[in-house]
Amino acid sequence: VAYFVSELKSKDEAKDECWDPSLVSSAFLSPWLRPRKVESPHPVRDDYQCFKTVVLPGASCLYLNFDPRCATQYDYDKVVVYAGNNTNGRKVAEFGGNSHGAGSRSVVRMGWPKEPIKVEGDAVTISFQVKSSRERNTPDIAVWGFSCIISTKVGILAPTLRPSLRQATQPEAIEELVVRCVINHLGLTKTVHGLELLQATETDGEEYRYLCSVMREVYNRLNGLIRQLQTMAEMEQKWAHEIEDVRSGVLQPSAAFFNDFHLQE
């Protein structure tokens, strides 16, 4: 979105004359469930305990992203993740310890996760308890504690295109046109301009949340469109190659995939 800030400033900011705000219902976009953060103090204090349940209604699964700074003095000062609304649910994983040479000088199993942890369902419970007392020579970095962001997605990845297909479909041009039209149509030009001056404390504003929701939906649909164009381009490329093979006598017309393709479709 930031790319379009400078671009939009050079264009007219007139809205679509046919656009009527009353025609845009609240159901136009699927609800965006904001990520939730669960964390301890940094550094974590002695005898600290935390039991937190996060529910994102309607989600089929949740993803937990742990901060790379997570660390506890001993491996039994650990975070335990449960699926569901309480600690009676299935234990998904547990993490604790540090790799900074302090305390137990070890970590639970493979250590703190570097990739998102997937939890089935729309609820997850996190339990954290510090059982050890901080030793004199233990640095803050080894008792940083934990921080975890819980969300319904791991991110929206753009389709990967071969250079030849990228040249044929021109996804960047499609993206620019679609995003520009959506921003103008929904009257979000002023909000986009405001991103340049946005402060960290202002990300809870209604306009900012709405813009993020719109962009998430736009890119979900846009990436789906690009994948469809990719499929069409690959089929046309295959078609062209087989026509050349038929003309050169390498392939019999009856053996070409397009000979009865219309019947298959």
Please report, for the chain, the start and end positions of each structural domain, with discontinuous segments joined by +.
36-151, 161-258
Going from the C-alpha of 104 to that of each of 71, 77, 109, 171, the distances in angstroms are: 11, 10, 13, 52
- Give 48's strand partners: none
What pLDDT, on a 0 to 100 scale, did the predictor assign at position 164? Answer: 76
- Evaluated on CA atoms 131, 132, 133, 139, the torsion sign reads negative
Superfamily for 36-151? Answer: Spermadhesin, CUB domain (2.60.120.290)
Count Cβ atoms below 10 Å from residue 81 Cβ, excluding itself: 24
Give yes or no for a contact between 20 and 185, defined as CB atoms under 8 angstroms apart: no
Give yes or no for a contact between 195 and 4, defined as CB atoms under 8 angstroms apart: no
What pLDDT, on a 0 to 100 scale, did the predictor assign at position 241? Answer: 84
Give yes or no for a contact between 43 and 135, defined as CB atoms under 8 angstroms apart: no
Residue ranges, the chain, pLDDT below 50? 1-32, 200-201
What pLDDT, on a 0 to 100 scale, did the predictor assign at position 154? Answer: 58
What pLDDT, on a 0 to 100 scale, did the predictor assign at position 205? Answer: 67
Give yes or no for a contact between 105 and 134, defined as CB atoms under 8 angstroms apart: no
Query: What is the pTM assigned to this prediction?
Result: 0.50
What pLDDT, on a 0 to 100 scale, did the predictor assign at position 157? Answer: 54
